[in-house]
Amino acid sequence: MSEKKVTLEQKGFEQVGKVSETIGHKGAPLIDRIFGRWLGTPADRDWVVDAEWGRIQQEPVHARRLLYVMVLSLVALLIWAANAPLDEVARVMDAFIPSRQLQVVQSLDGGIVEEILVREGQIVEQGDLLLRIDPTRAVSSLRESRAQFLSLTAEVARLQALIGRLEEPDFSS
């Protein structure tokens, strides 16, 4: 019975060898992977072919595609930047203003600018009128403060009259 088994195994291997020969080189790696242990010793195989096949299998195709896409995108962006229309162009003719000569203009009282009396680049002297602010807010604030002052003055006069220090209140101020 063991002779029959050996004979059947030998016939099976012979059939696999025939199939491998008829398929050719394209099918050989698949058959080598499936039946590699039984087909022969590693010394029988050509290691250069195996190394080349391994290198081809490990080639980073996706990384190479990504690199090509990045390079093509960069080239497309550079071409677009070279040909895109510009909205604004600023040209300077050998002149600049150092930061020490720039002054920050601030107003202690806020308001709405009514009129600007200077132009950009104009030289101004100390005391020159630069702009006019609408006086509505300032006048209303002044009148409100004046009313509060008079109210507090009346309160002081009332309290002094209560303690008997003042006979008649004085609202002249």
105 domain-assigned: yes
Rounded to whole angstroms, the Cα distance separating 39 from 17 reads 8
Whether 128 is covered by a domain: the verdict is: yes
pLDDT of residue 95: 58
Mean pLDDT of 159-173: 71
Q: Is 111 left (phi over 0), alpha (psi -120 to 50) or beta?
A: left
Higher-scoring residue by pLDDT: 136, 171: 136
73 band by pLDDT with thresholds 50, 70 and 90: very high
pLDDT tens profile 86-127: 777 667 666 555 556 666 666 666 778 888 888 888 888 888
Name the band, by pLDDT with cuts 50, 70 and 90, for residue 135: confident
User: Helix, strand or coil for residue 115?
Assistant: strand
Across 45-69, average pLDDT: 77
Residue 93 lies in a domain: no
pLDDT more than 70, % of the chain: 62
Q: Which two tokens stand for residue 138?
A: 């300032």
The secondary structure element, H or E, covering residue 131 is strand 131-133
d(CA 161, CA 169): 7
The radius of gyration computed from the CA coordinates of the chain, to the nearest angstrom, equals 50
Residue 29 in domain: yes
Nearby residues of 31 by Cβ (< 8 Å), 6 or more positions away: 16, 19, 20, 23, 39
Domain that holds residue 132: 100-162
Number of domains in the chain: 2
User: Which carries the bigger pLDDT value, residue 75 or residue 57?
Assistant: 75
- Give the span between the Cα atoms of 62 and 46, in whole angstroms: 29
Entry pTM: 0.30
In a domain, 127, yes or no: yes
Please indicate, yes or no, if residue 59 is contained in any of the structural domains. no
